[in-house]
Amino acid sequence: MGKKYLAIKRAIDFVFATILLVLLSPLMLLIAIVIKLKSPGPAIYMQKRVGHNKKTFTFYKFRTMVKDADKMLPKIRHLNEVDGPVFKIPNDPRLTSFGKFLAHTSLDELPQLWNVLKGEMSFVGFRPPIPSEVEKYENWQMARFEEKPGITSLWAVQGAHKMSFIDWIKLDLMYNENISFTLDVRIVWQTVSHMLQSVIVKTWHKVRHPFRH
């Protein structure tokens, strides 16, 4: 990949992050208000993540879990369904009722537009891990950090929860080797299509069954 596309990619990120932050600010404000009304704790969850060139940065997302959820992790770590130095389960018991909706529709990721605007992330890249996970990486896996992390990724549109950690890393490295405008557009299109479909399905379910959790 040439330096020319890197410059173009950063320009695209900046312009679209700015536009989306303006257009989606009413929705983001509404989500923040609902989070505060539904459960105690901050509306925005902040965490240190590892990004480009292994530099740490503050990662933003809407809080989907109960307050102090990080402290509860040791008690549920045995439920992990992914191998390697990551923790993922499809129905995390720490999720709030509204948090489940946000997580399933990916609306919890919207605050990462600030990370994109600041240049810490891109729209497409790898999903940034936490420092304690990176400490367990093998040397070849560090190549993941040669590009910026992203709001979405090749891994996310390839059946994320059905994939081993090794295959996940290989997809990120494949993206780094083949990064292009066309590939980025395809990944973003698939992500947005899935997100809109999830929002419509989950919202319709809530309308039909307003008292069901």
pLDDT for 206: 60
Q: Residue 213 falls within a domain, yes or no?
A: no
Contact 44, 61 (CB under 8 A): yes
pLDDT for 82: 78
pLDDT for 161: 65
**Domain encompassing residue 20:** 3-208
Share of the chain above pLDDT 70, in %: 92
Give the confidence band of 83 by pLDDT, cuts at 50, 70, 90.
Answer: confident
Judged by DSSP in three states, 51 sits in coil
Q: Residue 94 falls within a domain, yes or no?
A: yes
Antiparallel, parallel or unpaired: β 56-62 and 44-50: antiparallel
Q: Does position 212 have pLDDT exceeding 90, yes or no?
A: no
Domains: count for the chain: 1
Query: Which of 138, 196, 193 is closest to 170 using CA atoms?
Result: 138
Give the confidence band of 85 by pLDDT, cuts at 50, 70, 90.
Answer: confident
CA distance 86 to 80: 8
Q: Residue 46 falls within a domain, yes or no?
A: yes
Tell me the β-bridge partners of 122: 150
Tell me the β-bridge partners of 95: 65
Q: Does position 32 have pLDDT exceeding 90, yes or no?
A: yes
Give 210 or 183, the one with higher predicted confidence.
183
pLDDT for 108: 96
